[in-house]
Amino acid sequence: MVPEDHDIAADESQSEPNDNFDLKVLVAVIIVAVILAAAFFASETGFNGGPVSNPFSGTGPAVSIVPTPGVVGIGSPVALEAYLTGYQPSATVSVAVTVYGPYGTNLLSSSTKSFTTDSSGAGSALFSYPSSFPSGSTSNTGIYTVSASFTGVYAIGTAQTSFTVFNIRTTNTPEVTISPAHDSAGATVAFNGMYFAPNSNITLKDGSTVISTSPSSIKTSANGSFSGKFTVQLPSGKSQITVSDQAGNSVNVPFYNEPYSSSGALVQTSIATYVQSGDVYADLQGPNVVLTVSGSNAVTNTPVTVTASIQNSMSQAIGVNPPATPVAFYDVIISGISSGTATVTITNSSIITSSAVGGLYYWTGQQWTSATNVTVSGSTLSGQIPVSALTGTELVLVPPPPPTFSFTSYLFIALLVVIVIVVAIAAVVVRRRRGGKSGGGKSKGKQQIERMTVSRVGKK
């Protein structure tokens, strides 16, 4: 009967490893579930603050259409360039661009072009509006909506954008750029101007004091442009330099006699313009800032001066940090009106990208406030700010906010973990039941008890 006792001991020793094996399998499955959840979390958040992509959708083609410029005067043309990336290489793609006129104009016009993608699957098509669009026109003021549909062997995608047509008194308003706009006494500063009267003598004044220039006599060209330099001999602090020609055109440009290293404008431009039916348009080519005002209650032909500059740092000791570390500093001043909404459009290819810049904030005197309707397209950022706030306020460009992890994503992770654990438990239960059936329908524990009883009876 000793062999039977030996068999019982052997069965017991075998049951323990089986139980241990079940536990190890369950733990391993749970670890795998946690790893999968962590991987999903990493793919959703990016960890590096970069763009977030759906891990189940793949990258796919990307489409866009960019208007240049984004704001024009009545009757002016607009270039519309449609871009495609991430598609099949050496593929023929058709782009249908439709332009919808401002609300109430019933203006609708379309044009189609084709292009072949390069080896990387990228390509573009350039449209000129309104010349290449039947019945196209920029004779109405307002916002024009643009839609571009890309089609290859299948429908690829649709991109949308818009541009604005303003009733501008003249697009060639006198413009003066001073660079830098902050510097110390004795420093040499460069200036240039455009859209002044042709073949006219130019004078620079600080109040009633004439500023000596180099060359000593400056005359505009046949197209009204000029350039020169002057040595800073102005009072400390802010001065208002008036640049004028013999025809009566003039522009007032702020200049600051203070060390450039402490707070400097890298480049500053001022434009003299006018209100036209509540609208103002200023294209400041020095700092590449376009400003449009709509909804002003100032009367038509009210003189307006717009000054914009790229700052080396914040020109005011605010003491309150912006909501994010600034990527760049700008300053915009509107004088002559205080009502309306200003759309500030900044172009800077060395700074602005969708991954580097995502916000535009201005200082109200009490707090940092975000501009509204902020968009980033290529190297151009645009946002809306009340005219009443643009009195020399600081503007800062900040990085895009970090990606957020949605409630749906958390719910998905939790559901994934629960499913894996339930499957693991179910697998263990099924395995044990199969083990019980292999023993004649009895569990291994019951078989062992019966065998022990038989063994003891036999000994007796």
Q: What would the pLDDT profile of 102-135 be if each residue is shown by its tens digit? A: 766 778 899 999 999 999 999 999 999 999 998 8
| Residues 248, 366 share a domain | yes
Residue where one domain finishes, among candidates 377, 398, 419: 398
Between 239 and 248, residue with greater pLDDT: 248
Q: How many CB atoms lie within 10 A of CB 44?
A: 20
Query: In the prediction, which pLDDT does 148 show?
Result: 93
Q: What would the pLDDT profile of 348-364 be if each residue is shown by its tens digit? A: 888 888 788 888 999 88
Residue where one domain finishes, among candidates 166, 192, 217: 166
Query: In the prediction, which pLDDT does 444 show?
Result: 54
Find all residues with CB under 8 Å of 161, minimum gap 6, and list them.
64, 65, 66, 67, 80, 146, 377
55 in any annotated domain: no
Residue 140: is its pLDDT beyond 70? yes
- Decide the pairing of beta strands 155-166 and 71-73: parallel
193 in any annotated domain: yes
Share the mean pLDDT of the chain: 77
Residue 376: is its pLDDT beyond 70? yes
CATH code assigned at 376: 2.60.40.10
21 in any annotated domain: no
| Residues 336, 189 share a domain | yes
Q: What would the pLDDT profile of 435-458 be if each residue is shown by its tens digit? A: 655 555 455 555 555 555 555 555
| Residues 373, 259 share a domain | yes
Instruction: Name the pLDDT band for 211 (thresholds 50, 70, 90).
Output: very high
29 in any annotated domain: no
Residue where one domain finishes, among candidates 110, 138, 166: 166
| Residues 224, 319 share a domain | yes
Between 98 and 171, residue with greater pLDDT: 98
42 in any annotated domain: no
Nearest to 285 by CA among 255, 266, 309: 309
CA torsion, ordered 350, 376, 409, 28, to nearest 10 deg: -20
| Residues 350, 315 share a domain | yes
Residue 261: is its pLDDT beyond 50? no
Nearest to 286 by CA among 305, 265, 304: 265
CB 86 within 8 A of CB 122: yes
Q: Which residues are paired to 271 by β-bridges?
A: 175, 306
Tokens of residue 59, six digits: 């990258």
| Residues 132, 90 share a domain | yes
Q: Averaged over 173-189, what is the pLDDT? A: 77
Q: How many domains does the chain have?
A: 3
Q: Range of 235's domain? A: 175-398
DSSP 75: T
Q: Which residues are paired to 253 by β-bridges?
A: 241
| Residues 273, 181 share a domain | yes
Q: What would the pLDDT profile of 296-348 be if each residue is shown by its tens digit? A: 888 887 888 888 888 776 655 556 778 788 888 888 888 889 899 999 999 88
Query: In the prediction, which pLDDT does 263 show?
Result: 44
| Residues 180, 104 share a domain | no
| Residues 416, 393 share a domain | no
| Residues 341, 284 share a domain | yes
The span from the CA of 266 to the CA of 291, in Å, is: 19
Among 201-205, 394-398, 420-424, whose mean pLDDT is lowest? 420-424
Residues of the chain above pLDDT 70, percent? 71
DSSP 258: S
Question: What are residue 311's phi and psi, to 5 degrees?
Answer: -95, 150
